[in-house]
Structure 1
Amino acid sequence: MKLISFFLLSCLLAFGPQKATGKPTVYTIGDSTVKNGQGDGSGGLWGWGDPLVQFFDTSRIQVENHALGGTSSRTFRTKGLWQPVLERLQPGDYLLIQFGHNDAGAINDDFRARGTIKGVGDEAEEIDNLLTGEREVVHSYGWYLRQYINEAKAKGAIPVVMSPIPRNNWKDGRVPRNDESYGLWAEEVAIGERVEFIKLNDKMASAMEKLGEAQVTGNLFFPHDHTHTSAKGAVLAASLIVEGLRESENCPLKDYLLEHPIINFPAKKKVLLIGDSTVAGGNGEIVGWGRELPDFFDTSRVEIINKARGGRSSRTFLYEGLWKELVPQLGKGDFVLIQFGHNDGGNIDKAKYRGSLPGTGDEMQEVTREDGSKETVHTYGWYMKKYISDVQAKGAIPIVVSMIPRNRWKEGKVERASDSYGKWANEVAEETGAFFIDLNEAVAAEYETMGAEAVSTFFPGDHTHTNGAGAQLNAMILSQQIARIKECPLRGAVSHRIQSQ
């Protein structure tokens, strides 16, 4: 059977499968460790419910991920998320249940009000919900699990309960289990209701311990988040659920598993960078922000390719054929970050022949080069529009970036390019529909916060070129700016730690 990509499957399943096929359906319900965000890997985070589909023979069974981040066993019901699933359940369907990460929260507050009473008993607490303003009877974690199980059974579906995946917390080389709390209670409910139970918490904690903390952190989990898994972590959790199904004696869901599943990670999109030495990788003490940019992105989702070249302007990057080499590499949905300006103010008709005409208009000037050849020189804006047009023609997404500021100060303020290349870059982006990031302004504002003396340490040789620390700061600020553009698809690949700032 031909398997399609992890990302495409997630997108397709978001619209829900069609019952007209007559195939049984596996429904998953739970929190963000089952489905993070929209299930598209935003910020590099995935729930195990997304890759799970790739372990099944989808010619015979369907998989729908209905989990939602932030929910508990209680609020998945009270938010109305359970009812649509219940209504769609049919005899022979399956329901995979994992809650617990959010059940320990406050029972009543004006922020989330999602906690449940600890344990599996019949205790109840009547509250006036500060968040919803409604009267509500809150039950135990076990009580809510039993409701899902019994209501699914009443529809002829087959429930499977699993303990919550472990958090990436370590103590003396071991990952703490939840076998005295939600893992234990989930198992007690499953045994009491005679449904299949998978010790996912213990299975995954054991697998993490075999790898060791150094291999888990930054690989299965990101260093800044001990709860939500990366794509690799989500696949591990899904594979352990599959292992638990195979070990089961009475759960027919295992009959739909593929013998040799092929797990496809999301296809990486290219992020090409073009520009001058302030973007290029550089060497020694001189470093462009393009070298540091991958540190702020989930590189399991995007491949950042730095094609910037020192000494180039918007004119010479095109004239020398550098752009012509790159265009064939672009595919639909890729990105191109474009930053020029530092060298565009150079000589137009003398060596180094890299200056462009000012502005964004259609003015032209014919230049005779030293070898006698003729060149028609255009405005800065004309060249920028050329790059944007070519990118858009390939179905890729252009992002225009104003040039980083030089280390020039006047009366305590950093000199901007807001009356020249920064302004023209913005005008071009607006005219063409490209995204625009005013990096010149954002970095200048940060420099002013730091002060001239601190900023001077970023410029070891001149007022234009940064060292590694300066490039790191510029790359971080650029990433923050990308993350703030809600309409830009690239924001989803920005590291979660940047998005949360």
Structure 2
Amino acid sequence: MKKSKFLVLSCLSALLINCKSATNIATSEIIKPTVYTVGDSTVKNGRGDGSGGLWGWGDFIGQFLDSTKVSVENHALGGTSSRTYQNLGLWDTVNNKLKTGDYVLIQFGHNDNGSINDTIRARGTIKGIGDETEEIDNMITKKHEIVHSYGWYIEKIVKDAKAKGAIPIIMSPIPRNDWKEGKVPRNNTSYGLWAKQIAERNNVTFIDLNDKMASKLESFGEEKVTGTYFYKRDHTHPSARGAAMAASIITNELKETNNSLKNHLLSNVEVNLPRKKNIFLIGDSTMASSNNPNTIGWGMPFPQFCDTTQVNVVNKARGGRSTRTFNFEGLWDAAKKEFQPGDFVFIQFGHNDAGNIDKAKYRGSLKGIGNEMQTVARDSSITETVHTYGWYMKKMIRETKEKGATPIILSLTPRNEWPNNMVERRTETYAKWAKEVAVSEDVFYIDVNDIVAKAYETLGKDKVKDFFPQDHTHTNLEGATFTASIIAKKLKNSKEIGLRGFINLNE
């Protein structure tokens, strides 16, 4: 009986210990603080996925923090000011989640300088940190509104956070990539100053991100900064490298404060930047690189129209190939091994598909896009099943999709032939079949044949003749660059394809 009681007590004791341990684990998870970021597009651009190559520092700050000790939530929204962020209820969403020990990283200012009342944004705030107000009937919301100063809105976030036991940290707005006499202008007499004054008035941590980052940029110089940390087309929103730089400055500055967030920082951080997307070019000599100055494919100059800080252009095109031989020779399989999710694959054939089917060079494909086949004896030991042009194109499309990449079909380039004073089109053969394949497989299609032919007709025969010094099919570098620019313009103007943010036209 005593032994039985002892066993019962032992079991109960073990159960209590296990329950206590489980409770401690659960409690540890519950009290794990969260680092919230609130701000504009320089904190989180778009959906925070690097669309167009633009990022916010809030997308990288988590890499500098110990995820076993804190969580990170980026609640910034592009286009907002300190005023509209609160009017839209975005701050309420964060405030309602705050608990004791959380952190709130605050950065506004880029949009606060806008109009106080208009039909476009109505997001401006009164300059300074005072208690001045302006009553308006908001032209967008159609509501009566009392507009306050920039400092008033920042201070409201600070006070709300403190009331919840959270710890606010204020940043001055990141600098713009807008150089004057070799220097990056500061905002230390406007929003940077006012952010600092609010921090001092409320006894909270202030990080002069504006000045620290401007100094860092100046140490590199404008030429290195533009194209690496910012893009020429946008002086406000940084690249991934620029956003990561801002995040690293914030965390380095935190180390010099008495803010408890510094206890959750990692040491010797190697930032993981987003992988560059690849644009693969699959085709024949009219796309391929060449050492012959009279046979340059448009793929050779094409990279000059791309933002190569965001994308790599990988030219796998090979002269003399058709859809059939590109597959038969293993060129397609070799290229396909390199495709990764998110990449783009341009596929353009047709010039060589009209060749011999059962004679050397054995590169002709069957006409059309159907499933017809023909068995060909290439020599005494090799037989080959030849398919249609469309069959090979569909095969490449489907296998591209299987790799998670995006296939884009291009019709073949036009030749320098002018029947009836019009550039020849192949609207009844390869251009037609390329389009039919794209439609049947539901992929993007660019009618290079037609858009380049129209551009040739605008230039006129004499000028176009200079593009073709060797024959009517292959261009020199000038002609190849002209074709590449036409394709780049098409990509830049297409929202659906998803490459417009990677194209630089330098116009």
Q: With structure 2 as the length reference, what TM-score do the two structures score?
A: 0.87
The whole-number CA distance in structure 2 between the counterparts of 1:37 and 1:456 is 46
Q: CA deviation at 1:335?
A: 3.3
- Identical-residue share of aligned pairs (%): 57
Greater Cα shift, 131-140 or 257-266: 131-140
Out of 487, 491, 497, the residue aligned to residue 499 of structure 2 is 491
Query: Counterparts of 2:40 and 2:275 in 1: how far apart (Å)?
Result: 25
Q: Unmatched 5+ residue regions in structure 2?
A: 1-27
Distance in structure 2 (CA, Å) of the matches to 1:372 and 1:232: 56
**What corresponds to 2:367 in structure 1?**
358
Matched letter for residue 307 of structure 1: K
78, 81, 86: which one aligns with 2:90: 81
Secondary structure of the residue aligned to 1:291 is coil
Contact 2:494–2:500 (Cα < 8 Å) also in 1:
no
Query: Structure 1 residues 459 and 107 mapped into 2: Cα distance closer, same or farther (>3 Å)?
Result: farther
State the 1:25 CA deviation.
0.8
* Deviation per residue, 1:355-393 (Å, 9 max, x gap): 222110122233344778543322110111222233233
Which residue is equivalent to 1:5? none
Report the CA distance between 1:426 and its aligned residue: 1.9
| 1:280 maps to 2:288 | yes
**Bigger mean CA offset, 185-194 vs 471-480:** 471-480
RMSD of aligned alpha carbons: 2.5
Supply the distance in 2 between the matched residues of 1:324 and 1:73 (Cα, whole angstroms). 53
The equivalent residue for 1:305 is 314
Residue number in structure 1 paired with 2:209 = 200
Q: Which amino acid aligns with 2:220?
A: L
Which moves more between the two structures, 168-177 or 342-351?
342-351
The one-letter code matched in structure 1 to 2:179 is W
Q: For 1:260, which of 248, 268, 276 is the aligned residue? A: 268
Please show how residues 218-367 of structure 1 align to structure 2 within 5 Å.
Answer: 218-249=227-258, 251-283=259-291, 284-367=293-376
2:130 aligned with 1:121: yes
Q: Which residue of 1 aligns with 2:178?
A: 169
Query: Matched residue of 1:145: which SS?
Result: helix
Task: Tell me how many residue pairs correspond in the alignment.
Answer: 479
1:133 aligns with 2:142: yes
Other structure's SS at 1:358 match: coil
> Are the aligned partners of 1:484 and 1:491 in contact in 2 as well (CA < 8 Å)?
no
Q: What is the SS of the residue equivalent to 1:271? A: strand
Question: Which blocks of at least 5 consecutive residues in structure 1 are unaligned?
Answer: 1-18
Contact 1:404 1:443 in 2 (8 A): yes
Letter in 2 for 1:366: T
Alpha-carbon distance, 1:258 to partner: 0.2
Cα 1:442/1:147, change in 2 over 3 Å: farther
Distance 1:182 1:332, change over 3 A: closer
**Greater C-alpha Rg:** 2
Q: Is the 8 A contact 1:402 1:439 kept in 2?
A: yes
User: Secondary structure of 2:285's partner?
Assistant: coil
Per mean C-alpha deviation after superposition, the further-off stretch among 327-336 and 266-275 is 327-336
Provide the rounded CA distance (Å) in 2 between the counterparts of 1:21 and 1:443: 62
Aligned: 1:214 with 2:223 = yes
Structure-2 residue corresponding to 1:43: 52
Q: CA deviation at 1:75?
A: 1.4
Q: Could you tell me how far 1:473 is from its partner in structure 2?
A: 4.0
Structure-to-structure mapping, 1:353-432, within 5 angstroms: 353-369=362-378, 373-410=382-419, 413-432=422-441
SS at match of 2:499: helix
Q: C-alpha distance in 2, partners of 1:369/1:358?
A: 19
- Between 1 and 2, higher relative CO (CA 8 Å, sep ≥ 6) is seen in 1
Counterpart Cα distance in 1 of 2:482 and 2:48: 30
1:486, distance to aligned residue in structure 2 (A): 5.1
